[in-house]
Amino acid sequence: MKESNSENILVIGICADVHTQGVHQYHQAGDKYVRALTSLSQHVVPVIIPALFHELSEQAQDTLLATLDGVMLTGSYSNLHPGYYQSALPDDDDAARDPHRDASNWKLIEKILAADLPLLGICRGFQELNVYFGGTLHHRIHEVPGLMDHREDKSLPLEQQYACAHSISLTEKGVLSQWFAPRQEIKVNSIHMQGIDRLGKHLKVEATAPDGLVEAFSCPDYTFLVAVQWHPEWQPHNYPDNASVIQGFIQACTTYKNRSSQ
């Protein structure tokens, strides 16, 4: 259901990746992330933040964030360079890398936290936040004894790749448990090769997979910081649980805007 209050316009930033097309580089964000916001609220204006935030002046960074009511850190085909968590590249590294996004989001996260802007991390964004708070990542979950293979089958149609793959258990009295109450479990898609090894400091586990892998966390030190390993941006109009995550984020942005305007 779309909101009816046309006066409550929200400006939400979405981080970009840098992709090479032909001989040129482009700053891009996936259509599904943009439309996840606009499909659930006619009062959201998505703004793509170029992956050069760290190159802007301090004044420019602050001015940009002052225009926003929240930020989404998206998933990506690339993975955060392991040097950010003091680890070497794995043997036969087959992950795509995006040093522009790595550097840009590292500074962007710092500034978002300082401003206490509502922040939603998805997949790579989830992993970036964990590392920012001092956590580490498994390079290849499917090679870790006791953990499931959380990758999608790329030979299947996209609809099947993003279909629900497994259940997750919600932490009692967490942010997600409030969104999905009275259920203690929900089903999610699973489209990732990496995952949390050591949880970052001050982060609170919000959900775990059947193998114990952390699937969501929050940080009580901030007004709203939630990150999920799955992809709730995928067709929220067809998956109500995906919609609940995006709507929870939009509501946090609304609350922030209302508080800031007082």
The pLDDT tens digits of the residues spanning 83-105 come to 999 998 888 888 899 999 999 99
Question: Does residue 166 have an active-site annotation?
Answer: no
Q: Which residue has the tokens 């962007």?
A: 108
CB 166 within 8 A of CB 141: no
Q: What is the mean pLDDT of residues 203-231?
A: 98
Q: Is 162 exposed, middle or buried (0-12, 13-18, 19+ CB in 10 A)?
A: buried
CB 122 within 8 A of CB 188: no
pTM of the model: 0.95
Say if residue 4's pLDDT is above 50. no
Per-residue confidence (pLDDT) for residue 161, from 0 to 100: 97
Mean pLDDT over each residue of the chain, to the nearest integer: 95
Q: Is 104 exposed, middle or buried (0-12, 13-18, 19+ CB in 10 A)?
A: buried
Q: How far is CA 197 from the centre of its chain?
A: 17
Per-residue confidence (pLDDT) for residue 2, from 0 to 100: 42
Strands (E), 60-213: 70-73, 119-122, 137-138, 166-170, 185-188, 195-196, 204-208
- Lookup: tokens for 51: 């992956």
Question: Does residue 231 have an active-site annotation?
Answer: yes
Which entry of 81, 128, 231, 253 is annotated as an active-site residue? 231
Rounded CA-CA distance 156/242 in Å is: 21
CB 251 within 8 A of CB 140: no
In DSSP terms, 74 is beta-bridged to none
Rounded CA-CA distance 37/39 in Å is: 6
Q: What is the mean pLDDT of residues 133-161?
A: 96
- Going from the C-alpha of 156 to that of each of 161, 162, 236, the distances in angstroms are 6, 10, 20
Say if residue 129's pLDDT is above 60. yes
Q: What is the mean pLDDT of residues 103-124?
A: 98
Per-residue confidence (pLDDT) for residue 90, from 0 to 100: 82
Place 192 in a pLDDT band, splitting at 50, 70 and 90: very high
CB 246 within 8 A of CB 38: no
Percent of the chain with pLDDT over 90: 93
- Lookup: tokens for 13: 């930033």
Per-residue confidence (pLDDT) for residue 262, from 0 to 100: 75
Where would I find the H helices in the chain? 31-40, 58-66, 99-115, 124-132, 158-161, 175-180, 240-260
Say if residue 19's pLDDT is above 70. yes
Per-residue pLDDT of 241-252, as tens digits, reads: 999 999 999 999
Question: Does residue 27 have an active-site annotation?
Answer: no
Which entry of 123, 128, 152, 215 is annotated as an active-site residue? 123
Q: What is the mean pLDDT of residues 152-161?
A: 96
